Structure 1
Amino acid sequence: LQALNFYASELKIRGILHADVAELNPDYPRGTIIFDDPTIAANGRNYFLDSIYVVSAPSADSGNNILIEGRAVHAKLWGHTPLTKIGDVIQYQVDRHYALDSTGKNGLAYRKRYNLPAQYDLNLIAKVENNPVIQGFVPDLKSFDTIRVEGAITNDRLFLNADAPQITYMNYQITDAKVRVNGTDSALTYVASVDHLKQNAMDIWFANAAGNVKYNTITSDISISDPDSVKKFGLSASMQKQGNDQIIQLYEGLMLNYKTWQVNEPNQIVFSPKGFYVQNFGISNGPESILVNSQSASYNAPLTADITNFMLSNITNIISKDTLLANGVLAGNINLQRFSPDPQVSSVLGITNLSIMGDTIGNVDLNVRSASSNVVDAQVGITGYGNNITMNGMYYPTAVNGNNFNMRLMLDPMNVAAFEGATMNQIKNTSGYIRGDLKVNGTLTAPLLYGSLRTDSLSTNVSMLNTQFRMPSEEIRFNGQSVQFNDFGILDSGGNRARLNGNILVRSFSDMDMNMRFQATNWQAMSSTAKENKDFYGRLFLTTNMTVKGPLTAPGVDGSLNILEGTSVTVTIPAAESGIQERDGIVEFVDITNPDRYKPLTTATTDTVRKLARFAPGSEINLNVSSDEEAEFSVIIDEGTGDFVRIRGKADLNTTVAPDGTLGLVGTYEIKDGTYHFNYNFIRRQFRIQPGSRITFSGDPNDGELDVTAIYEANVPPYDLVARQVPDPTTLVFFKQRLPFEVQMKLTGPMMQPDIAFDIALPDDKNYRVSGDVQDLVRARLSQLKQDPSEMNKQVFALIILNRFVTENVFESGVEGGGVSNIARQSVSRFIGEQLNQFASGLIEGIDLTVDLTTAEDFTTGERRNRTDLTVGASKRLLNDRLTINVGNNFQLEGPKTTGTQGTSFIPGNLAVDYDLTTDRTYRLRFFRRNQDMGVFQGYVVETGASFIVQRDYNRLRQLFMTRKKRERLRKEREERRQQRNQEDSLRTTQTAIILPKDESDAN
């Protein structure tokens, strides 16, 4: 198909074809075709489909009877119409109301010409369902809900109904599109509507076109409304065919931007193979008007267009949402004296206060006149709002010495902030200017520029990265096809400078070659949130030295990239587009013995990794990537459930991309610490990733080797785990005490198909409120589980999902409590504690009070007891806040008394006295006495002592070892730089305030 130019890229189809065709009649075929195990290779991906069935069984009653069944397409076609005549039948139904051929003959002549049957009928029911194979054929079609089509044709009637609830094509989002066509002997009527059409800044609601076709005339009423269904645009028009002429007329009722305009009548625009002309085509609304007229009703007669005070918002408000795409007042005239062979034009146009996406650029003036047969003298200027941009010179419709332009472009200056809207707000918070003087030669597709552009205190924020970059006085030089960067500096918000050197060879806009080097040290490239870019956001600090060479569409990159401490980047894995699912076909019977059923899973995973890389064929990349162990990365696995992974670690990787687009990765990523947050309905679990876990890459990223251990701590009683192993049933009650078990999930082997093993451990380095015998028996039982993977997996999932161990009968448990009553008690205790804290916060002036109430179950005495503790603390500052006294006590309100318990003593059990040796609290002395509950066997232990505390704030470890004098000097230098930047910003603001009124007055 690619060789025949039927398809843009390579398309391969493979499968097993079974055909049983009894009658190979092109009009009424009879037979069955089954396409088993079809595989389609398109756009670098493989698609494995279910079998496709095509059955044709014509009969005298139904005529043709064709059924097509596949995963994506379901269709039925039947009726007494030969298949070879379907196109002619449809053409006749249209042609009898509007003759499409140049002769203008009616439908009867067309019917005789194509020898249509005397009687015919045809019916169609079809639906197209969303399936990855559709994206294979149409790569830019991202998603859609089921599309339904119904139609029928007879001798005297045609009807067609089509519905598309949702379509996402490229960056166009279409909601609820409908088409209705109904043809009879008298006329063919149509209605087409779209409830919502969105594409970037374009936002159209409730667009509707309706009309009819009869007597070689097409009439149409078009309307567009706002989100509240209030009509804001409408027009009525017709197109009539007379011989070879197509005549367009506009009728009264024109509405622009909610206002009804007057339409000159009669009016017409006549198109013909010989040319066109316009008669009395005018619209007006108060002071606004547009009038277009040819001097005579003859083809290509001289034409004049007069425009008076026309607001651009009359048009742009139709397709925009909250912010107008463009606005301003357009006025002037256009005179076309001759269309061919040498066009003669003179025009004077101006737009007052032109704004784009809410940012006013200034006043635009255009003056164009034909100086001779192949020379157009053009002058363009933008003035006001800090801009003074002019472009003057000659334009040659037919190139002279290879040049269509001989012009001069002067920016003196260009206020970049005024053009934020023109960039579709890709930049923001801009200040500063660009100045330059350029000579413009070449052609429209391959311009040649000579001269230079220089930034003047330019500062801007790249919206997607949300980082402010400054370019105080940097230069770009142009020398014909070459764009040169010589130590072009880009400063981040901390004043760190990145440097850009090299050149770009511009043969045309579609043919550019780069030879660039980018260098940066401790440079902040990103400081964004999900608001700016939900797919990739956070803080990114880097040091890099890389070269970029080759074509712009497939560059070669070589160098190093070091991700530094302070980085915290979040990546969201995009979810597959979901749409309305059909109830039909939810239950599906498949052959589970067919190994090809599992191919889509493997293929999709591999292709997803390559798709995320987004490297064009021809790219060649060799990049050494390293990451500081304090750099943090988060991956949101599922936005819907909230599953995400957060890790920190050290990376040492070499990344390569071969010219064929193959991605390679060699090296290791060793995890220092991290967590995996798992959510399923109301279940929320957090796994801690064990330090030292690593991922090793040795080529294909999909073949990375995992050695990762994730740990979930479950504080549960071991009763159900050891109920059958305890020799003395009377001691079972001690096993109802909760213990902090670690559920370990170990992932090893290939990253795409890892070996997953589970283990449960009771850590040795913790203090437990149970005897050593209980601990030993529990550990022995856990050792037995290691020999029985099935039982181990059962207990693991019980701990993760149910948060408890299970017996052989998973619906029984010997653990009392732990249910709704215990949860309710804990929730109420937290609520009461919060309320007591709020009440105590202002109870005694000068003293800070804190109150905490906790409740839990306790089995340390051999039976279940509810335990409730009340903790009260008070804090007072004295001697100008140099001396701080903290006292507190724990009151055991309910539960078993431990050895050495305080009971209800009101003598403070915890006492701490802090004295600040320095006013900045860098050095402190602390004297303390505290009671600590060590469990039922040791009871309360009293600790008394003193400590010397040093408190230092630092951003980098080396700052801890700096002397005070050096720290003060660095602080003063930072303060001086900050004040200098503030003065520069203030000076620029003052200059802008002085310049703006002068420019505005000049414009007026």
Structure 2
Amino acid sequence: TTNIKDFAINLNTDKKALNYKVSSNSISNPQVKLDNFLLEGKLADNQILASISSIEGRNNKLLIRSLITKENENYKIAFDPKEFYLMDKRWDIAADNFMEFGKQGFRIHHLFMNQKESQINIASVNDKFNDDLKLSIQNFHLDDLSRIIEKDTALVRGNVDGNVLLKRVNNSYGLIADAQISDLFYTNIPIGNLSLKADNPTTERFNINMNLSGPDNNMAVNGYFIPNAQANSINIKTDIQSLSLKTVQAFSMGQITEASGTLSGNFLLEGTSDTPNLTGELTFNNALIKPSILNNRIELKHETIQLKPDGIYFNAFTLLDDNQHSAVIDGAIQMKQFSDFAFALQVNAKDFLLFNSTAKNNKEFFGRMVIDSKVDINGPMTLPVVNATVRMKKGSNFTFSVPEDQLTTDKGEDVVEFTSAVELNPILARGEEKASKSSGPSGFTLSSI
């Protein structure tokens, strides 16, 4: 949900100009907050003056002024070099900067900006329309950008260096990129150093090489993608020597807390975009995670998930609660190129703490649930068959709540009239129309004790 406070639009005109102003005291959602947002300017003499700003106290979190003009059926945008602020830091911009676009194409001229040791330079290489385009970044601080719009000033930190070249080839663009983010932090969790190299020497093929190194992180991704190939259009290998579960927690949007341990494994994605094959395995090493919805720490000492062309396989995959009581998963989720999923799973638990939550963790169900269980799940995802023996152990309690907006009360009075079922019920009528495909479950068969 995005909250916009005191939003206003003001327009006024005179014989020479149209003046406009769009403002809000606050624009915010769980991740973003802009204070005292203002977009203002005027239209006069075939020119548009535009200014965008966000002010926090006496600080210019964001201030950019620009001039838009029209010349020979082309539009030109230039930034005011006197007033360009990011997080109350004034950036120097080349006085002759502009971007131009129109029927001739587009070009960027000397869009160079710097603030002390940080530099960004964007330009058409030969200063002509539809030219090669080069982006160079040197020691750019990510937190300077993220703090403009983020509530949490520590959301992302790190320094960016790199070069990107969009090379014009036969009316399209090829890509050559070499970039690094050093000392990357996300939500105050250290991620490490991330490097990316990518190129497409021809317009038919993209090569990618990515590496992550840092605290408990050592991962590499290498391969290629051919957009229009009929076969073998994808071949991407992922080698995970170590991936910290703290890193996974950082990007889980709060769904995982108190994580520790690592992941390791390897994957191969190959085939085509229509019929991909993903094979490999993923191993949890001395892992601890706490899913927020369950509020219960789960331990995985050395557990492996295998991915094969025909499914996802579990072999005595064991989860332990805080008291070392176990839940064990055996079997497979069968599939064909990530479709036609079918279950063949068994889940057995003994004195296992399934969840230990309050309404704060999950408003729909909460409590403390300790169980013994024997569960068999078989059949297609659209109509699985579940045979379960589940026993709640002493000390368990469980609350299931229905949201107020889903509560209904139906009341009928007087005469109920039945008309032709054939007219009203297409299922009984067995019409000739084809049923649309559905990827989700349409129901299930449940047998429990």
- Does TM, scored on the shorter chain, surpass 0.5? yes
Deviation of residue 504 (structure 1)? 5.0
Correspondence 1:806-821 to 2 at 5 A: none
Q: With structure 2 as the length reference, what TM-score do the two structures score? A: 0.82
Identical aligned residues as a percent = 22
Identify which of 555, 559, 562 aligns with 2:387.
Answer: 559
Specify which of 301, 315, 318 is matched with residue 489 of structure 1: 318
Q: Cα gap change, 1:550/1:190 in structure 2, threshold over 3 Å: closer, same or farther?
A: farther
Q: Greater relative contact order (Cα 8 A, min sep 6): structure 1 or 2?
A: 2
Aligned partner of residue 228 in structure 2, secondary structure: strand
Counterpart selection for 1:392 from 222, 232, 235: 222
Cα distance change of structure 1 residues 357 and 472 upon mapping to structure 2, 3 Å threshold: same
Superimposed CA distance per residue, residues 944-975 of structure 1 (whole angstroms, 9 cap, x where no aligned partner): xxxxxxxxxxxxxxxxxxxxxxxxxxxxxxxx
Aligned ranges for residues 321-360 of structure 1 at < 5 Å? 321-338=151-168, 340-341=170-171, 343-360=173-190
1:177 aligned to which of 1, 4, 7: 7
Find the partner of 2:67 among 238, 259, 263: 238
Tell me the distance in 1 between the aligned counterparts of 2:334 and 2:49. Answer: 53
Q: Is the 8 A contact 1:361 1:419 kept in 2?
A: no
Partner of 2:131: 301
Counterpart of 2:245? 416
CA shift, 1:502, in A, is: 1.5
1:463 lines up with 2:292 in the alignment: yes
- The answer to which of 178-187 and 250-259 deviates more is 178-187
Structure 1 residues 260 and 495, CA gap change in structure 2 (3 angstroms)? same
Query: For residues 477 and 617 of structure 1, do their structure 2 counterparts lie closer, same or farther at Cα, with a shift above 3 Å needed?
Result: closer
Q: Does the Cα contact within 8 Å between 1:448 and 1:481 map onto a contact in 2?
A: no
What CA RMSD, in Å, does the superposition of the two structures yield over aligned residues? 3.0
Task: Give the counterpart of 1:283 among 113, 127, 131.
Answer: 113
The structure whose residues are more often strand, as a share, is 2
| C-alpha distance in 2 between matches for 1:229 and 1:505 | 58
Q: 1:179 to 1:339 in 2, by over 3 A?
A: farther
Match of 2:209 in 1: 379
C-alpha deviation, 1:270, in angstroms: 1.9
Q: Aligned residue for 1:196?
A: 26
In the aligned structure 2, how far is the partner of 1:200 from the partner of 1:445? 36
1:517 paired with 2:345, answer yes
* 3-state DSSP of counterpart to 1:495: coil
Q: CA deviation at 1:371?
A: 3.6
**SS of corresponding position for 1:474:** strand
- Contact persistence 1:523–1:541 (CA under 8 A): yes
Q: Equivalents in 1 of 2:117, 2:242: separation in Å? A: 34
Give 3-state SS (helix, strand or coil) of 2:145's partner: helix
Could you tell me which residue of structure 2 aligns to residue 815 of structure 1? none
Query: Residue type matched to 1:394 in 2?
Result: Y
Aligned residues: 416
Aligned mates of 1:421, 1:458 — CA distance in 2? 15
* Cα distance in 2 between the residues matched to 1:284 and 1:525: 54
Structure 1: tracts of 5 or more residues without a match:
1-170, 577-599, 605-615, 627-1004
Match of 2:183, as an amino acid?
Answer: N
Q: Are the aligned partners of 2:53 and 2:63 in contact in 1 as well (CA < 8 Å)?
A: yes
Question: What does residue 442 of structure 2 align with?
Answer: 619
Residue 525 of structure 1 and its aligned partner are, at CA, apart by 1.9
Counterpart-to-counterpart distance in 2, 1:275 and 1:535: 55
Work out whether residues 338 and 344 of structure 1, in 8 Å CA contact, stay in contact via their aligned partners in 2.
yes
> In the alignment, is residue 542 of structure 1 matched against residue 371 of structure 2?
yes
**For residues 287 and 136 of structure 2, what CA distance do their matches in structure 1 show?**
40
Q: Is the 8 A contact 1:375 1:394 kept in 2?
A: yes
Query: What letter matches 1:621 in structure 2?
Result: F
- What secondary structure, in the 3-state scheme, does the structure 2 residue paired with 1:483 have? strand
Q: What's 1:958 paired with? A: none
Shift of 1:602: 3.7
2:262 partner amino acid: Y
Where do residues 585-734 of structure 1 align in structure 2 (5 Å cutoff)? Answer: 602=409, 619-623=442-446
Offset of residue 187 of structure 1: 2.5
Q: Distance between the aligned counterparts of 1:352 and 1:444, measured in 2?
A: 32
In the other structure, the counterpart of 1:258 is 88
**Take 1:372 and 1:409, find their aligned partners in 2: how far apart are those partners?**
24
- Residue 245 of structure 1 and its aligned partner are, at CA, apart by 2.6
Stretches of structure 2 that go unaligned for 5 or more consecutive residues are 412-438
For residue 369 of structure 1, the aligned residue among 194, 199, 204 is 199
Q: Which amino acid in structure 1 is aligned with residue 158 of structure 2?
A: G
What's the offset of the Cα at 1:260? 1.5
**Contact 1:256–1:314 (Cα < 8 Å) also in 2:** yes
Q: Is the 8 A contact 1:333 1:348 kept in 2?
A: yes
Match of 1:187 in 2: 17
C-alpha deviations, 1:545-590, integer Å up to 9, x for none?
A: 1527545xx67463335444322345566567xxxxxxxxxxxxxx
Per-residue deviation at 1:443?
5.2
What amino acid is aligned across from residue 123 of structure 2 in structure 1? N
**Distance in 1 between residues matched to 2:275 and 2:32, nearest whole Å:** 30
* Helix, strand or coil at the partner of 1:377: strand
The letter for the 2-side match of 1:517 is L
1:387 deviates by 0.7
Tell me the CA shift for residue 503 of structure 1: 1.6
Structure 2 counterpart of 1:317: 147
- Tell which structure's C-alpha radius of gyration is larger: 1
Give the structure with the larger helix fraction.
Answer: 1
What residue identity is the alignment partner of 1:474?
Answer: E
Distance in 1 (CA, whole Å) between partners of 2:187 and 2:363 is: 23
Q: Of the candidates 280, 283, 307, which is equivalent to residue 454 of structure 1?
A: 283
Matched letter for residue 101 of structure 2: F
Contact 1:483 1:506 in 2 (8 A): no
SS in 1 for 2:293: coil
Aligned partners of 2:309 and 2:337 also within 8 Å: no
Amino acid at match of 1:377: N
Deviation at 1:533, TM superposition (A): 3.8
**CA deviation profile, 1:69-91 (whole Å, cap 9, x unmatched):** xxxxxxxxxxxxxxxxxxxxxxx
Contact 1:557/1:620 (8 A) holds in 2? no
Residues 287 and 516 of structure 1: CA distance in aligned 2, closer, same or farther (over 3 Å): farther
Kindly state the Cα deviation for residue 342 of structure 1 after the two structures are TM-superposed: 5.3
Residue in structure 1 matched with residue 122 of structure 2 by the alignment: 292
* Structure-1 separation of matches of 2:91 and 2:193: 26
| Shift in Å, 1:458 | 1.4
Shifted more, 484-493 versus 325-334: the winner is 484-493
- Measure the CA separation in 1 of the matches of 2:133 and 2:215: 35
